[in-house]
Amino acid sequence: MVEVNNKGYGVLNPKVGLLWGDGIEPQGIKEICKGVMGAGFSIDHLVFGMGGGLLQKVNRDTERFAFKCSAQVQGGKLLKIQKNPLDRTKASKGGLLKLVRQLNIDGTSEIRTINNEYPLYHDMQPNLLEPVFENGRMLRVHTFEEVRNNAKSSSQEASTS
């Protein structure tokens, strides 16, 4: 049941709301609001999520970055899982992955993802990633101060490389 407010727009029950949080940006919010009001409804029940479009359009597409499953165990056997589309720039890595700092000949270093197909090299490099959640259990809780310090050191490192 819809009540009509003093401006003539239909208002939904306060226990009902609509959330839009994917691919949203300021112009999109305006268009959605205009459409809802054009259909005779109040926008009081709308909620917009804070996505990358509201943060300088930096998102997984602009950064060419996404998390994907890379391995799974079936019947006791480890299987590589990877995305291998026609657009090779969107291919993903398969297998058990590890993030390492690789030293270059010129003395600089870069962060690289490797897998354990190369056990000797793999074992020599410390993994920069640490498990924080596994099989429904939290293994490590980061404090807000730790997150801030990690972000600060990452941005300083990025500006010097």
What pLDDT was estimated at residue 89?
Answer: 82
Report helix, strand and coil shares of the chain as percent, to nearest 5.
Answer: 25, 25, 50
Q: Is residue 38 part of a domain?
A: yes
Q: Is residue 89 part of a domain?
A: no
Query: CA-to-CA distance for 64 and 68, rounded, in angstroms?
Result: 13
For residue 8, the enclosing domain spans 3-54
| Model pLDDT for residues 90-106, shown as the tens digit of each residue | 888 888 888 888 888 99
Given a cut of 70, the residues of the chain with pLDDT beneath it are 50-60, 63-64, 117-123, 154-161
Q: Is residue 82 part of a domain?
A: no
Q: Is residue 28 part of a domain?
A: yes
What's the pTM value of the predicted model, to 2 decimals?
0.49
Q: Is residue 15 part of a domain?
A: yes
Q: Structural domain tally of the chain?
A: 2
What pLDDT was estimated at residue 117?
Answer: 67
Q: Is residue 109 part of a domain?
A: no
What pLDDT was estimated at residue 54?
Answer: 62
Within the chain, strands assigned E span 3-4, 10-11, 18-20, 46-48, 71-74, 77-80, 97-103, 109-115, 133-134, 137-138
Q: Is residue 63 part of a domain?
A: no
What pLDDT was estimated at residue 52?
Answer: 59
Query: CA-to-CA distance for 17 and 151, rounded, in angstroms?
Result: 35
Q: Is residue 160 part of a domain?
A: yes
